[in-house]
Structure 1
Amino acid sequence: MTRAATDTAAPRTPRAVPTSIALGLGSGTMLQGLNSSMIAVALVAIAADFGNGPGITWVISALYIATAVSAPTAGRLGVLVGPRKLFLGGLALVAVGSLVGALAPSLGWLIAGRVILGIGTAAQYPTAMTIVRSIATRTGGETRSALAILTVCAQTMVALGPTVGGVLVGLFGWQSILWINIPIVLVSAVWVLWRVPRDDALAADAGEPAPSSLRALVHSMDLPGMALFLLTVSGAMFVLLSLTTDPLWWLAPGVVLVAVAFVVWEARVREPFIDVRAIAGNTALAATLSRTLVTYTAFYCIFFGLPQWLQVSRGFSTSQAGLLMLPVAGVGIIGTIVASRMYATAGPKWTLGIGTAALAVGGVLLMTLENAATPVVALVAVACVLGIPNGFNNMGNQNVVNAVTTVRDVGTALGLYRMIQYIGANLAAVVIALATHDVGPGDQGIARIGAFIAVVGVVLLVGVIASRSLRGLRPRHTSDSPGVHDREAHSQT
C-alpha cells in the first residue's frame, strides 16, 4: 500500500496549538483576573491612606467599567492592527497603569491608574484567542487544549487573587498589588515575542489585511458606534452601581435611548463596530452571551459574598478567608481540564449541564451555612462544590462561542464575552447589597445569596436541557467558517 493510500485511509489527528504559545499568551491573560480580585483585600489600607469616602468604591468599579467597554474594542482592533501587536500594547498599558496607581499621590490618580490598567488587561484575552485560532487555521491544528490553558490562566486568578493580595498587602503594603504586575508584564512580553508568530504571518489566517493607513484604520473602527457603545455601557454601569446607595433613576431613560440609538446605528452602518445583525442572526451566539451574563452574576455573588461572610460571621482574617477560597480555584482548574475533554467527546449540553447543576447545588449548600455550627471541613467541601461550575460553565460557553464564530469574528465575540462577565460582576454587587442591606452579610445574608444562586442554577439547567441551538454542536478544529453543525445551530431557535 502506498503512503498516499495510507494517508487517505487514515487521516491524521489534528495537532494542538503548541502549549508553549498558549502558556505565553496565558501569562498575559492572568493579569485581568488578578487585578480585579486582589484589590478587595487592599481597600482597608487604601482607605487609611486616602480616606474612606465614596470614591473608594470607584477603585474597584473603574477597572470593571474600563474592561467592559474596552474588551470588544480590543477584539476588533486585534484583527485590524494585528493581534500580537495589540497584545503587547495591552501589556505596555498594564505597566503604565500599575506605575500610575502605585505612585498615586491621591485617590483620583489611583482611580486613573486603575482605568488604564483595565484598558490594558482587556486586550489580552480576545487577542490571544484570535492568535490561537489563526495558528490553528494555518497549521491544521485544534484549539481545545489552548482554550483550556487560556481559561485556566484567566479565570483561576479571580479566585487566587484574594490569597495572593492578602500576602502582598500584609508584607509590603497595598502598592505591592500594583508592583507585582511589572515582572508579570515583562515575562509575558518576552515569552510572546519569542514564541508567537508575527502579525504578517497571522494576517492571512485571520482573513483580513491590516489597514494601509491611519485614515483607513479610523474609518474601519466605526467611531460613532464606539462612542454610543461607550455611553450605553458606562451609563448602565452608573445606574447599576447607584442602586445600592442613591439610585440614579433619572439616568435610566437616557441610557435606554442611547442603547436603542446604538443598535439602530450598528444595524445600518456598513462596517459596524459590533455587528448586531450577525449576533441577532446567530442564535447560538446570542443565547450563549445571555447565558454567560446570568452565569457570571451568580459566580461573582459567590466570589464577593462568601469571603464577606467568612470574615463577618465566622471571624476569619483576610488571609484565612482567602485560603478558604483556594478550593474554589483548585477545583476550578481541575474542572476546566475535565470540561475541556468532556466538551470534545460529549458536546456542550453535558458540559453546561454539569456546570449549571453544580451551581444550583452550591447555592443550596450556601443556604445551609450557620455562623458557628458549620465546621471548617464542611466549609472547604462547600468551596470545592462551588469551584465546579466555574470550570464547566466557562469551558462550555467559551467553546460554544469559539465554535459558532469565524477567525475574523472570534476576538470581538470573546471581547463581548469578557464585557458581559464584568457587567455580571456589577450585577452581583447589586444582588449582594439588596440581599444584605437589612440583615448584613451574616447567616441570613448568605442564605439569601445562596437562594438566588440556586434559582439561577435551576433556570440555567432547564435552559440548557431545552436549548435547540446546542444540539449537535462540536468544537471546530481547522475550519475558518462555521461547520455543518454550527450552521444548523445558527438557524435554530
Structure 2
Amino acid sequence: MTAMQSDVPVTPKPIPVRVSGPLASGSILQPINSSMIAIAVVAIAAEFGSSAGVSWIISAMYITTAVCAPMAGRLGAIFGARRVFMAGLVFVAAGSVVGMLAPNLGVLIGAYVLIGTGIAVHTPNAMTMLRAYADRYDRHPRTAIALLVMCGQSTAALGPTIGGLLVGTFGWHSILWVNLPVVAICAVWVMRADVGFAGGSSDSLRTSLRGLDFGGIILFVVALTTAMLFLISLRATPYYWAAPIAIIAGVLFVIHERGTVEPFLDVRALVNNAALSATLGRALLTYVCFYCVFFGIPQWLQTVRGMTPIEAGLTMLPVAGVGVLATSIGSRTYRRYGVRTTLAIGTTALVVGGILIASVERSTAPVVVLLIVAAVMGIPNGFNNIGNQNLINTVTTVDDVGASIGMYRTMAFIGANLAVVVTTTIAGSAIDDVGMKHIGWFITAVGVLLLVGVLRSKHMGPKVRRG
C-alpha cells in the first residue's frame, strides 16, 4: 500500500497568500497612477493652461518606466529583489511629495519621472521572488501570478473611479497624496513577509554596476523620446528633425544590444525565443488599446458629455468589476483549456468592445449604454494579461523570468506612450465624438489582428507547462 502511494504524483501546493499578498500589493501603484491621471488631465490643463503639455506628464512617466522596467530585474539580482522593491516605494513617495508642491508643469513632469522610476520595479522583482519561492519550497506559482495580475488589473480599472472621486472632492493634487498611505502599508507588509528570497550579488558594487548597459539605456531613451516627439507633433507643426534621430538611435540601439554581453534589452533573446518575442509583441498592441480606452473615454466623458470628474470615474466603474471577474475566470480558463483559448476570449472581447465604442451614438446614448460598453471593455483586460504573463512564465527559466517580465512591462509602458500618440493623432487633444469613433475603429482593427495571430500561433499548444 505504501509503495503504491509513493508512485502517485504529488501536486505542488500554491504559494501561500502571506507571501503572494504583500508582493502583489506593490503592483497596484503603477496601474492606479497611470489610470488616475486620465481623469485629472482636464483639471491639470485648466490650472497650468497647456493641454498639449499635460500629455507629456503621461509620456514622461511611461518613458521612464519603459527604461527602468528591464533594469529592475538586473538591479534585483545585484542588490536583492526585496531591496529594489522597497527602493521603488521610496521613489513613488518622493515623486508624490514633489508633485503635490509643484509650482509649474515642468516640476510636475519631473515628479512623474520619479514616480515612473518607482513603479517600474515592483512587478519584475515580485515575479522573481515568487518564482524563487516556488522553486525553493516546491510550490506552483499560478495562483500567485493570478493574484499579481488581478491586483494590477482591478486597480487599473478602479483608477478612473478613484481618481474621479478624489479630483472631484479634493482637487487633482489628491491623486498624488493618496500614494503615501499605499506606500506605507505596502512597505510594512513586504518587510514583515517571509518571502524566502533575499537575492543580491556577491560581487563588489562597482563590478556589478559595470554590468549595467548604460550605452544601451541612453540610445533607448533617445530613440523613444524623439519618436514620441515626432509622432505627437504630426497634428500641428511636425518636428521632422526628430524622425531621423529616432531612426538612427533605434538602429544603433539594436546593433549595440546584439554586441553587448549583458544588454539593457536582450535583443538576442527575442530573436532566439520566438514564443517570448511573439508574446511581447502581442502585449504591446494589447496595451495600446488598453490605454486608448483609459486615456480617451474619461476625457471624452468630461469634455463632450459634460460629466464631472466624479461622474466620469463612476461611469468607468464597470471596467473594474468586470476586470476582476474576468481575471478570476481567465485564470481558471488557462488552467483548464490553455493559453490559446484564454487569449482568444480576451481578444474577441477586445474586438466587440472596439465595435461598440465606434458605433454607439455617444453624445445621446443613455448612461446605461455607456456602462455596458465599459463592462465589455473589462473582459479583455483580465483574460489577455493572465494569458500573456503565464505564457512568459512558461517559456522562460527562473533566472530569466525577472528580466522577461521587465521586458513585458516595457512593452506595456511603450504601449501607453503609443496610446498617447494614437489618441492625439486620430482624436486630438480634446477628444470629441468623431475622435472616439476613430479610437473605436482603431481598437477593432488591432483586436482583429491580434485574434488572427492567436488562432494561427505555433507557440500555443493545447497544453501548458504547470508550475
TM-score (norm 2): 0.94
CA contact (8 A) 2:228 2:421 kept: no
Partner of 1:450: 440
What amino acid is aligned across from residue 255 of structure 1 in structure 2? A
Task: Give, as a single letter, the amino acid of the residue that structure 2 aligns with 1:327.
Answer: P
Query: How high is the sequence identity, in percent, across the aligned residues?
Result: 50
Q: How does 1:67-86 map to 2 (within 5 A)?
A: 67-86=65-84
Kept in 1, the 8 Å contact 2:337–2:462? The answer is no
Superposition map of 1:38-49 within 5 A:
38-49=36-47
* Change beyond 3 A, Cα 1:243–1:157: farther
Q: Pick closer, same or farther for the CA change 1:467–1:54 going to 2, 3 Å.
A: closer
2:5 alignment counterpart: 6
- Per the alignment, residue 464 of structure 1 pairs with 454
Q: Which residue of 2 aligns with 1:122?
A: 120
- 2:169 aligned partner, one-letter code: L
Alpha-carbon offset, residue 34 of structure 1: 1.1
**Which residue of the partner structure matches residue 176 of structure 1?**
174
Contact 2:168/2:308 (8 A) holds in 1: no
Deviation at 1:5, TM superposition (A): 4.0
Residues in 2 aligned to 1:230 and 1:427: alpha-carbon distance in whole angstroms: 15
1:36 aligns with 2:27: no
1:381 aligns with 2:380: no
Cα-to-partner distance string for 1:111-164 (whole Å, 9 max, x where unaligned): 211111110111111111111111111111111111111112122222211211
1:75-132 Cα distance to aligned partner (Å, 9 max, x none)? 2211222111100010111111111111223332222111111101111111111111
Q: Which amino acid aligns with 1:166?
A: G
The residue that corresponds to 2:99 in the other structure is 101
Contact 1:73–1:415 under 8 Å retained in 2:
yes
* Counterpart amino acid of residue 387 in structure 1: G
C-alpha separation in 1, matches of 2:315 and 2:42: 20
Residue of structure 2 in register with 1:423 after alignment: 414
Please list every run of 5 or more consecutive structure 2 residues that lacks an aligned counterpart in the other structure.
Answer: none
2:219 aligns with 228
Determine the structure 2 residue equivalent to 1:275.
Answer: 266
Q: Which residue of 2 aligns with 1:23?
A: 21
- Asked if the contact 2:55–2:420 (Cα under 8 Å) also holds between the matched residues in 1, the reply is no
Aligned: 1:219 with 2:210: yes
Give distance in 2, aligned partners of 1:62 and 1:184.
22
Alignment of 1:210 onto 2:201: yes
Find the aligned partners of 2:350 and 2:187 in 1 and give their Cα distance.
36
Structure-2 separation of matches of 1:387 and 1:268: 42
Give the Cα–Cα distance (whole angstroms) in 1 for the partners of residues 304 and 442 of structure 2: 20
Cα distance in 1 for residues equivalent to 2:81 and 2:190: 11
1:404 Cα offset (Å): 0.7
The one-letter code of the counterpart of 2:349 is A
Which digits, 9 at most, give the CA deviation of each residue in 1:437-483, with x for residues without a partner?
A: 49x73333222221111111111111111111112451441xxxxxx
Equivalent residues of 1:327, 1:383 under 8 A apart? yes
**Contact 1:369–1:443, Cα closer than 8 Å, also in 2:** no
Does the 8 Å contact 1:21/1:196 carry over to 2? Answer: yes
> SS of the residue aligned with 1:432?
helix
String of CA shifts for 1:188-239, please: whole Å, max 9, x gaps: 0111111143644xx3xxxxx6142012112221222232233233333333
Unaligned 5+ segments in structure 1 are 204-208, 478-493
Please state if 1:240 is matched with 2:231. Answer: yes
Kept in 2, the 8 Å contact 1:81–1:211? The answer is no
Residue 323 of structure 1, CA deviation: 0.7
Does the 8 A contact of 1:400 with 1:475 survive in 2?
Answer: no
Corresponding residue number in structure 1 for 2:388: 397
Describe the SS at the equivalent of 1:169: helix
Asked if structure 2 preserves the Cα contact closer than 8 Å seen for 1:435 and 1:449, the reply is yes
Q: Is the 8 A contact 2:292 2:423 kept in 1?
A: yes
2:454 alignment partner AA:
V
Cα–Cα, structure 1 residues 242 and 18, in superposed 2: closer, same or farther, change >3 Å?
Answer: farther
| Count of aligned positions | 467
Please give the alpha-carbon distance, in whole angstroms, between the structure 2 residues aligned to 1:372 and 1:57: 24
Aligned counterpart in structure 2 of residue 411 of structure 1, from 372, 385, 402: 402
1:179 and 1:469, CA in 2 relative to 1: closer, same or farther beyond 3 A?
same
Task: Give the direction of change, closer, same or farther, for the CA distance of 1:194–1:244 in structure 2 (3 Å limit).
Answer: farther
- Give the 3 Å change call, closer, same or farther, for CA 227–430 of structure 1 in structure 2: closer
Seen in structure 2, the aligned counterparts of structure 1 residues 44 and 106 have a Cα distance that, compared at 3 Å, is same
Equivalents in 2 of 1:301, 1:331: separation in Å? Answer: 18
Secondary structure of the corresponding residue to residue 325 of structure 2:
helix
Q: Is the 8 A contact 2:158 2:320 kept in 1?
A: yes
Deviation digits for residues 388-439 of structure 1, max 9, x if unmatched? 111111111111111111111111111111111122122222222333349x
Give the letter for the 1:224 counterpart.
Answer: G
Q: Which residue of 1 aligns with 2:50?
A: 52
Distance 1:245 1:374 in 2: 32
Gap change, CA 1:245 and 1:74, over 3 Å in 2: farther
- TM superposition shift of 1:322: 1.1
Q: What amino acid is the match of 2:5?
A: T
- Decide whether the 8 Å contact of 1:14 with 1:141 is kept in 2: yes
Secondary structure, aligned partner of 1:408:
coil
Q: For the residues of structure 2 that align with 1:49 and 1:153, how far apart are their CA atoms?
A: 32
2:319 alignment partner, one of 320, 328, 351 = 328
Equivalent-residue separation in structure 2 for 1:398 and 1:136 (angstroms) = 16
Deviating above 6 A after TM superposition, structure 1's stretches of 4 or more consecutive aligned residues are none
CA shift for structure 1 position 31: 0.6
Q: 1:437 to 1:171 in 2, by over 3 A?
A: closer
The aligned counterpart of 1:197 is: 195
Distance in 2 between residues matched to 1:149 and 1:228, nearest whole Å: 35
Superimposed CA distance per residue, residues 165-208 of structure 1 (whole angstroms, 9 cap, x where no aligned partner): 122223323222111111111110111111143644xx3xxxxx
SS at match of 2:400: helix
Q: Deviations over 1:270-328 (max 9, x none)?
A: 22232211211100001111111111111222222222333334332221121111111
The one-character-per-residue Cα deviations of 1:15-72 (angstroms, maximum 9, x if unpaired) are 1111122221121110111111212333344345444375333222221111111111
> Greater CA deviation, 155-164 or 441-450?
441-450
**Aligned mates of 2:463, 2:70 — CA distance in 1:** 24
Write out aligned runs for 1:145-156 (5 A): 145-156=143-154
Comparing 293-302 and 387-396, the one that deviates more: 293-302
Taking a change above 3 Å as real, the CA distance of residues 114 and 461 of structure 1, as seen in their structure-2 partners, is same
SS of the aligned residue for 2:14 comes to coil
Q: CA RMSD in A?
A: 2.0
Q: Distance in 1 between matches of 2:425 and 2:51?
A: 21
SS at match of 2:241: helix
Distance of 2:216 and 2:463 partners within structure 1: 32
